[in-house]
Amino acid sequence: MKRHIPNAITLLNLLSGCIAVILAVNNDFVAAALFVFLGIFFDFFDGFAARKLKVSSPLGLQLDSLADMVTSGLVPGVIMYKLLLMATGGFETYTEASHWQEHSNWMDTKLEILPLMGLLITLASAYRLAKFNIDEDQQTYFKGLPTPANALLILSLPLIIEFQNSDVINAIILNPWFLIILTLVSCYILNANIKLFALKFKNYGFSDNVMRYVFIILCVVLLIVLQFAAIPLIILLYIGMSVLDNVIPKKQ
């Protein structure tokens, strides 16, 4: 019976992602973000449960990636699509000769072309997850940004717009060039050959986990001070500290 517990938790991750997709499509970004956060929690907890119960299996690994594909791959792609749609004014601005917009009429459905670039994040996430499944080296570290971290980066944007109440920041986020560049950067860092430390503790000794403890403390401080605006900075901090960790000589 206990061997089914981690898989059941993984399915809760998938369910959370499916609900988040529905909410994102209906422009309820805050609720969508909440379900993605919930899905990421289940994503962490299923692996924890599998290790504690000693019931890890190849099936669990594949199921975990399939759930992540929805929660941390499809949802951020849809969110970016929606943000690009907002940034370019939607279909209505096409009639005003906006150079940003093109559209097609497929089976009487008007489809914006440029915002579809947001779905590149979904494709890059799928590629990253497939590589992870066949890479036996990524046990104590990650190659490229993990999909949950990337999902948090993208989902932070509508949350910043909703809660930070800054016209300057909102103008930056809803700038089409900013969103396009962020989409391309997101796709790159998901699959970049950069070693990033994992937040997995073999033990809780400070000397063996200095980088992890410092990172967690800085994350808490940034979140308290900057709230949702801290998330992009935390992702940059994570990448920067990982690069630093790679060049610091390790104790033999």
pLDDT tens per residue across span 209-219: 788 889 999 99
Question: Which residues contact residue 20 at a Cβ distance below 8 angstroms, ignoring those fewer than 6 apart?
Answer: 31, 32, 33, 35, 36, 39, 71, 75
Instruction: State the Cα–Cα distance between residues 144 and 65, nearest whole angstrom.
Output: 15
The predicted model gives 62-74 an average pLDDT of 93
Kindly calculate the radius of gyration of the chain based on its CA atoms and give it in whole angstroms.
19
Confidence of residue 84 (pLDDT cuts 50, 70, 90): very high
> What are the residue ranges of helices labelled H in the chain?
5-25, 29-53, 58-68, 75-87, 120-134, 147-163, 167-173, 176-191, 210-226, 230-247
Residues 49, 64 contacting (CB under 8 angstroms): no
Residue 235 three-state SS: helix
Torsion of CA 82, 84, 89, 95, to 10 degrees: -100
Please check the confidence at residue 154 and state whether its pLDDT lies above 70: yes
Residues 29, 154 contacting (CB under 8 angstroms): no
The reported pLDDT for the residue numbered 94 is 35
Mean pLDDT of the residues in the chain: 85
Q: Tell me, what amino acid is at 209? A: N
Which residue do the tokens 């990337």 mark?
A: 150
- Structure confidence by residue, pLDDT tens digits, 88-106: 886 443 333 344 344 445 4
- Structure confidence by residue, pLDDT tens digits, 2-38: 777 888 889 999 999 999 999 999 999 999 999 999 9
Is pLDDT larger for residue 105 or for residue 162?
162
Instruction: State the Cα–Cα distance between residues 82 and 88, nearest whole angstrom.
Output: 10
Confidence of residue 164 (pLDDT cuts 50, 70, 90): confident
Using CA atoms, how far residue 95 sits from 57, 68, 102, 108, in Å, is 55, 38, 10, 17
Confidence of residue 77 (pLDDT cuts 50, 70, 90): very high
Please name every residue paired with 8 in a beta bridge, in sequence order, or none if there are none.
Answer: none
Lowest mean pLDDT among 105-114, 154-163, 228-237: 105-114
Is pLDDT larger for residue 110 or for residue 152?
152
Q: What are phi and psi of 30, to 5 degrees?
A: -65, -45
pLDDT exceeding 70 applies to what percent of the chain? Answer: 84
* Domains located in the chain, CATH noted: 2-200 (1.20.120)
Instruction: State the Cα–Cα distance between residues 211 and 207, nearest whole angstrom.
Output: 9
Please check the confidence at residue 207 and state whether its pLDDT lies above 80: no
The predicted model gives 110-138 an average pLDDT of 86
Confidence of residue 138 (pLDDT cuts 50, 70, 90): low
Is pLDDT larger for residue 162 or for residue 57?
162
The reported pLDDT for the residue numbered 99 is 40
The predicted model gives 191-218 an average pLDDT of 80
The reported pLDDT for the residue numbered 93 is 36
The reported pLDDT for the residue numbered 110 is 60
The predicted model gives 212-236 an average pLDDT of 93
